[in-house]
Amino acid sequence: MRDRDQRSFRVALVADAFVNPAPGRLDAIAVLLDAEWGAIQLPADTYPPAVAAPLLEQVAEQTEEFHRRGYDLVVIGRREGLTEALAAAGVPALDQINPADARELRSFLQARPRPRAATLG
């Protein structure tokens, strides 16, 4: 008998401002952990394009793998160059949110459809 796979098959690409928030701002990682989502941190906005571009390329490659395997993928916040990097890797536009607070983010995550990967195998 095969044990149930415990992965959520859900991954958020998270802008640095929501991973390392200023005091009093939303910590998206705490919400994602509670909702059993994985996270990929996007490069900080302060990184120059020459540094950020190869990092975004790596994020896009990882995201393409998750997309191909049927994971639910979203973007939290914004990162210049991400859309282009994802498109270059063959990843379609992802749903995105720039939440004002934890409640808004929680509602967004809870409303997501069941990932295709969760129904496979």
Question: Could you read off the pLDDT of 74-95 as tens digits, one per residue?
Answer: 999 999 999 999 999 999 999 9
Q: How far apart (Å, rounded) are the C-alpha atoms in residues 115 and 95?
A: 14
Q: What is the pLDDT of residues 30-80, one digit of tens each?
A: 999 999 999 999 999 999 999 999 999 999 999 999 999 999 999 999 999
Contact predicate 10/94, CB 8 Å: no
**What is the layout of strands, in order, in the sheet containing 95-97?**
38-41, 10-14, 72-76, 95-97
User: What is the model's pTM?
Assistant: 0.92
